[in-house]
Every structure is written in C-alpha cells, then in structure tokens.
Chain A
Amino acid sequence: MRKLVVVGYGPTAHRLVETLRDRGFDGRVTVIGEEPRPAYDRVHLTSYLSGTTLEDLTYDVPEGTVTRLNTRVTGIDRQARHVVTADGGVEPYDVLVLATGSAPFVPPVPGAEHAYVYRTIEDLDAIRKAAKDAAEGVVVGGGLLGLEAADALRALGLKAHIVEMSPWLMPRQVDEGGGAVLKQHIEGLGLAVHAGAGVQEVVTDGEGQVTGLRKPDGTLVEAQVVVFSAGIRPRDELARAAGLEVGERGGVVVDPGMRTSDPSIYAVGECALAGGMIYGLVGPCNTMAEVAADRILGGSATFEGADMSTKLKLLGVEVAQFGAMTGALDVTYMDPVGGVYKKLFISDDARTLLGGICVGDASPYTSLRPFVGKALPASPSDLLFSGAGANLDLPDEAQVCSCNNVCAGDIRTAVADKGVTDVPGLKACTRAGTTCGSCVPMLKQLLEKSGVEVSKALCEHFTYSRAELFDIVRVREITTFSQLIAEHGQGRGCDICKPAVASILASLHNGHVLEGERAALQDTNDAFLANIQKNGTYSVVPRIPGGEITPEKLIVIGEVARDYGLYTKITGGQRIDLFGARVEQLPEIWRRLVDAGFESGHAYGKALRTVKSCVGSTWCRYGVQDSVGLAIDLELRYRGLRSPHKLKSAVSGCARECAEARSKDFGIIATEKGWNLYVAGNGGFKPRHADLLAGDLSTEELIRTIDRFLMFYIRTADRLQRTAAWLESLEGGLDYLREVIMEDSLGICADLDAQMAHHVATYADEWSATLEDPDKLRRFVSFVNAPGVPDPSIVFESERGQIKPVMAR
C-alpha cells in the first residue's frame, strides 16, 4: 500500500485529500497540520467574527484520512523518505505533498511584535479579545484582505483606519480612477483611509500597550489594535531546508504537474511557485490540488495558470476585477455621484475582451468574466451602460466558477445529461457555486437559458409554489394536509411542505396548531410551542406587548427562571428569553406564566414576534404620539398571525426613531399629523431599510393598511420569503403594492380585510389552550415510557453566573 503524507492542513490540503478519496485512492493518507483543527474555510473566515461557528466553517475530514493535528513538521529526510515532527515523531512516505500555505508578511518595523495578523481562527480570537478594550484600530494594507479586516474591526465596534502604501486602495485590482470611487465607498462605511502612507513604527506606552501607528511623515494614527495585512510570504522553509528548488522571492518551484525538483514531492496551494507565480486565491489553489491528485493517481493533468479575478466581500461595496488590467483600448463608465466606475480592457482590434475593473456595481464581473480572451458579446458601451451582460450566450469553454474551475459547458452537460434542474443540484454535481458564491446568479441564468424551467415547486410532494397552494387551499376550502396532498400532491410530505401547509392552514383558519392531524405538520418548535436550542432543550418567551411590563410580572418571570434554573436574556425585541427548559418542564413553566397573565410570545413560530416601541409622548420630551399604546394595540392585533416568515415591527414616537422602526417588516413613525408607515425592512443577512408606503395616516387608516399589507404578503409570498425579498420580487414594487392595498386595483381588499378580521376574532393563546387539554399535555415528556425521567444527555455548565449547554461531543 502506498503511503501519502500531506504537510499542512489548509483548504488546499483538504481539496487534495477529498479529490483522492472521491477518485478511489487506495493508499494510506496522513495529513499533518500545525493548527489544532482540521482545515476550515478561510475565505469565509471573517464571518467567524459575526457569529458563524467554527463547526460551520470546518470541513469534514474525508473518510479514511489519518490526521495529526497540532503537529508541526520540522524536517524532511528525502533519503529515508520520511518527515520529522516537532514532537519527535517520524512519518514515512512514498509520496509527499507540501501544502504549507503562506504566512502574513509583517514588515520589520519597531513594535511590530505587538501587532496582529489576519489569517487563522487564533488570529481572529486574539483580535476580538483585543478589540474589547479598544476604541480605534488600524489595518496596514489596503488590499482585498486589509479592507475585509478593517471592516471586521469596525463591526467589532472600533473606529477603523486603513493605511495603504500605494496612492489608492486595492492597487492590484483597480486603477487610479476606480481607486477614487472606492475610497468614497469605504469612507461611506465609516472607515478612515490613509493612502500613500507607510509605517514607521507601532507605538506602545511603557507597559507594552499599543497606542498607535506612526507614519513615515511622523504623524500618529491613534489606535489600540494594529493589524498587518500587507501581503503574504509562501511557507517554503521545509522545502528550502530539504534542498528543494525554491524561487528567488520564495515559493517551492513546481512543474505543471505540481512536482517539485524531487519527483516524489509535490507542492500545492499558496506555498507553490507555479509558472513563476504565487497564487493567493482559493480557486487556483484548488485547481493545483486537483492536478496533484490526478498525477498521484497516475494521470497527466497540468496546471496552466489561473484566473486571478477577485471580488471584494464587504457589505454594500462592490469591487471586482477580472482578466488583464491593461489593454490597447479601454472603455470607461464613470458616475461619481452614484459611486460607480466600470472599465473594460479590449484588444487593439476592439474585438477581444481582455479584462475589466468594476467599483460600485460588480454586475459585469459575473456576466463578463467568462468572456475574457473571447470575442466581445456586444458593444462595450452597451455592456457597460445598459448592463446588457445578463442576456449573453456563453461559449462552452467560458469559465463560470473560478473557485472551482467549472465552465459553462460543464453546467450544460450537467443539465442535459444528468438532468440537473436547480442550483443545489448544480452545486452537488459540479461544485460550482460552493465556495465564494459569486457565480450563483450566473448558474441561474445558465439554467434558464438551457431551457430548464426553474421549478417553483415547493418540494417533491407539490409542484405548486406556496402562493399557488395558498390559493388552492383558500378557493377549494381545504382544511387538512391529507386532503391537500391526496388531491393536489404526491407522497406523504416532508419538512419543507408540511410546515408551509401548516402555516397556510393557520393563516386561513386559525385553530390550535396541535389539533388533530395538524400536530404532525409542525416543526419541533411549533410542536412543543417553544424554540429548540442546540442541545435539544427549549427556550420559553412570554409575550410582552410593546415591551411594557409591570414589576409584578417581571418578578414572576424572574421567579420562574430561578426555580427552573433557566438562562435569562433580554432580547432585541424587548422580551425576556428563558433558555434551557426540558420538554417535560414546558407545561409547568407555562402553567405559572399563564396564571400570572402571560401568553405565548410565538418566538417559535413563523408568526408575528414583537412590536417594539420607544417610550413615546407619555414620557419622552420629544414624542409627538403615544408609541407605546400603538405598539401594544398592534402586537395584540397581530399576535399569533402565521406567515411565510417571522414578522417584526416597531413604533417610534417621533422622527428621532429610537425604536428603529425602519429596520422592521413594518414600522411606524409618529408625525405631528399621524403616522408614517414603512414596510419591507429587515431583510436578514442582506439588511434593508423599510420603504415609506404612506404618510400621515390616522390610526384607523394605519391599521387598515397594515392589515392588508400583511394579508397580501401572507397570501402571495414564497415559503420563508421575508417581506423585504417579497417586495423586491413584486413586479411594479412599492407602487404596485400601493395600488393593490390602498386603491384596491385587484378588487381583493374586502377579502383581505375579512381574512384579518377573522384572525383577530378567532385568536386564542396556544399555551393556555394546551394546558387545558390533557391529550396534548401528554406529549410533553422526554421519554414515553418514563415520563418523569429527565433526559440524561442534557448537561449544563455555568458561564457568567448562568447555565450554558455542554454538548456530549
């Protein structure tokens, strides 16, 4: 059996072993990595600071791979064919692959040892920790990664500065004109830009605490956190010491088959010098891994160099560059007011597209990148001005996904030969779209162009969209899932269609979610009327309309939390979350809450959650209307309303907007004359401010308009589609919405009003109803055959004086 050893366990090593496994390599594979965990997604590393878990980022270890983590390789003995590790171990190999990546370059300036770098989980942990006691931060390096790091500092609550040596930001991706527009965007985000400036010194006080960064001109940028992102250096030290050929400026020299100067040693990824180039992007690194895997399996694949197209991943700033950055001819489109700069480079005969730069609008990146080196698909001005790119027919060999090296032809083959009909299918079959995701819009276009009707089917059980099912249920007066699936679907449903149908039935008929057959349709949250958390316990959230609560009720919540040992947290929606309840405790907890006058807060359902409020005119010296009173009325009116996605709302008592009403699905701001109604804010991961639907409404007009807005949304939105995405998908947008619900252009308003009136009249608290029903209560046990026994797998430890789950593994 052949022994393959891989040194370094980064994304490239992962892709290598995964490819080998997929292709049936039968030797022994050992991966030795210095970091304490298997490879993780570095491209999305920044999201770790905003809550993405390590688990989500970490790649699965491919089956049959032996891993040695936390282990650094310190030497290669090419004669004996083994590697030596820092702990004194020896690992023999027949084939060795170096995938040691690179290290951030830290310029040798005084004080540099007090700065951070931006590459690993540990780096980010350290930065996060340092940011806690800091007010300002500075990133050295205004490239792709430096901007990402600076934005991350900002998200950690720091005033962030970027220091860039070149006269403009991202000098490797944009030219001077683009740089100027980019600067505008970056400053718009609240980041301070110091271009054309180097670093003289990282300044510290007597105790070694960083106080700032001194520029060569002597000025000081005050900061308590300094991060270097000034380029990378390939980690070629092992290869160097073992006498392998390395480049003049570093990097392990490899041939097109990824072989080093020793035929039994390969090098891939950021440590490899391929064709005289170091590639610091995940796409080319993946291709190298695949080439090496193919060679190890006896194939003859070659690495031909790779596309260095890149796109900046900052919220709200689009910057992208593809292909070459010069050309005989160029065409520029510039709109300094709108912050858009687009430039295409073209061959001297004006026929071939060589490359492009986009700032502020990266749409040409997706649509034109595949045409690099090919005939221009339309006139350059059309391409730049009208964004004509969307309708282009790509040649088969055009690369669509550069992260995974997938061409248009591969996509077409998947559609034609393998019957793939949707984006998830394409991802599974070709890997396109699975890394940075920027090619997904292109994948959709290709699907549509291939004549695939992009299915709106909810799932394999229903060929209808949610909106169509809603109409079927309403018009045919269907009241059960069984009837619906028997008459209009196939099979017995799944976790996608069952909750969607449950929601439709609930919106149309109200009635208890656990009544009869409906019990089988609910997600665990609705089935237990509480929110499931990671260890299988549930959180309980009593409704606190408008955030107004009496001291007595506060005390009851405190007592319940104390008596059941629950973790307590005040939410962003002005409620109190109680975490860590076991299934069998839920009825007892709710018995006490219901007795004290609480009702279910529907924190578990796709339903109205909260209507938040500021203190309003009753207490606030600025308030012009009673925002608390209105918030309570609205929350009670819409409580329990089931919808395609959860709904949140807020009411502010004046234009100062203390309740942040414009970030909600519907938000209300008081005016001197009445209320302004904003709709379709929030947007989830793609934040969106709500749009003004109508101004100066009376309370009565306001409520009628919200009624109709909500019911029209509930009736026509897709499964899990937020109001923000729904509004964007409505042809005609806000104007159309106004016509429908304020001018009754479709003649459905009476119907919408009646539907809401029915909801309001038939609402009943789910928890008090459950407590009245012994049959339903019997379901609240951990074990059907041992109702009193708590689940022994649920274990807690404590943190900051409260419980926290301990997972079994």
Chain B
Amino acid sequence: MSATISEPLTTTAAWTAVCAYDDLLPERGVCALVDGRQVAVFRTFDGAVHALDNLDPFSGAYVLSRGIVGTRKGEPTVASPLHKQVFSLATGRCLDEQGVAVPVYAVRVSGGAVEVSLQG
C-alpha cells in the first residue's frame, strides 16, 4: 500500500465541462467521467474547486467523491468514506499514511461551468 501513484496522464490539454458550478454543494463532492477516468470534483467552503482521482487507493473502490470534506491544519481535505484515510484536496497526498497519494487534476470554473483537464 505504500507505492506512490505516478501513472502517466493523458496528454489532452483540453478542458472538459462536467457540470454547472451551482450543481456543486459546498463541502461535498461529485464524480465526473472524463475520458473514461473517474474524477472526484469538490467545492470547498470558500468556494474553491478541487479535482482528485476518484479511486481510493486503500480500498480499491471508486468512492473518494463521496467522502466528507473538511480541513486539517487549514489544508482542505476529503476523508475516504470507506476507511476514513484523509487526503489533501490540494496535493492529493494522504495525510494519514506517508507515501500514498492520488492524482490531482486541473479544474477551473469558466462561465459558470466546472471544467476538468486530465493534464494535471
């Protein structure tokens, strides 16, 4: 369980619109399907958006989008809903177990739409 995940990401620089910004509840996530990849998109309390891979590396289930969003020492986080390991929304790093991380994707709000790019 200690391998760092560093899969090569697809090279499409394109942005994919996944939903309206207003569809996101503050401090909850949704999952979007982008080029066959499951991306967890979160909106935090301050209005910022973050995107992580939806795969929980501990359980092997695609569930991170359904975790509880919060903070740890000020850093925005999500806790896996299965075994509660906490991941940084900013870096994808697991804050409970060194050496584990999930990929982070670029995400932006453009004209009221949330857009994701798999090119990190």
Contacts and interface: CB of A to CB of B under 8 A. Distances in A.
Interface of A: 60-63, 460-461, 491-495, 497-499, 517, 519-525, 527-528, 532, 534-536, 778-779, 782-786, 789, 791, 793, 807-809
A740 B26 CA distance: 42
Given A495-B68, A535-B61, A784 B82 contact: no
A784 B44 contact: no
Interface in B1-48: 1-3, 16-19, 23, 25-28, 30-34, 38, 41, 44-45
B79 A536 contact: no
The 3 closest A-B pairs by CB, nearest first: A524-B81, A495-B79, A494-B70
B117 interface: no
Given A494-B70, A534-B59, A784-B32, A520 B27 contact: yes
Interface string B83-118: 010100000000000010000000000000000000
A783 B25 CA distance: 15
Contact of A532 (B26, B66, B72, B86): B66
Contact of B2 (A63, A491, A495): A63
Contacts of A778: 23
B119 interface: no
Contact of A492 (B30, B45, B61, B99): B45
Contacts of A499: 68
Interface residues of B, number: 44
Nearest to B84: A495
B49 interface: no
B120 to A, nearest CB: 19
A519 B24 CA distance: 12
A60 B63 contact: no
Interface in B55-80: 55, 59-63, 66-74, 76-77, 79
B47 to A, nearest CB: 12
Contacts of A61: 2
Secondary structure type dominating chain A contacts: loop
Contacts of A521: 68
A538 B108 CA distance: 31
A784 B81 contact: no
Given A524-B63, A524-B81, A783 B71 contact: no
B33 A783 contact: yes
15 contacts: A60-B2, A63-B2, A63-B99, A491-B71, A492-B76, A494-B71, A495-B70, A495-B86, A517-B26, A520-B26, A534-B61, A535-B61, A784-B41, A785-B33, A789-B33
B83 to A, nearest CB: 10
Contacts of B61: 534-536, 793, 807
B82 A498 contact: no
Among A460, A495, A534, A778, which residue has the most Cβ atoms of chain B within 10 A? A495
A532 B63 contact: yes
Given A61-B2, A524-B63, A783-B33, A494 B19 contact: no
A785 B18 contact: yes
A652 to B, nearest CB: 37
Interface of B: 1-3, 16-19, 23, 25-28, 30-34, 38, 41, 44-45, 55, 59-63, 66-74, 76-77, 79, 81-82, 84, 86, 99
A808 B59 CA distance: 10
A491 B69 CA distance: 12
Nearest to B68: A495
Contacts, number: 111
A809 B3 CA distance: 14
Contacts of B77: 494
Contact of B67 (A492, A495, A535): A495
A784 B68 contact: no
A121 B27 CA distance: 43
A102 B9 CA distance: 47
A593 B31 CA distance: 27
B62 A791 contact: yes
B25 A809 contact: no
A793 B38 CA distance: 10
Contacts of A497: 70
Nearest to A59: B1
A621 B74 CA distance: 64
Contacts of B38: 783, 791, 793
Given A491-B71, A527-B66, A784-B41, 17 more contacts: A61-B2, A62-B2, A491-B73, A492-B71, A499-B68, A519-B28, A520-B26, A520-B28, A523-B81, A527-B28, A782-B31, A783-B33, A784-B23, A784-B30, A785-B19, A786-B33, A793-B38
A121 B108 CA distance: 50
A61 B73 CA distance: 30
Contacts of A498: 68, 70
A493 B18 contact: no
A492 B44 contact: yes
Among A523, A524, A534, A778, which residue has the most Cβ atoms of chain B within 10 A? A524
Given A495-B79, A807-B60, A520 B66 contact: no
B110 to A, nearest CB: 15
B39 to A, nearest CB: 9
Contacts of B41: 784
A207 B39 CA distance: 59
Given A60-B2, A785-B33, A793-B38, A460 B60 contact: no
B74 A491 contact: yes
A520 B19 contact: no
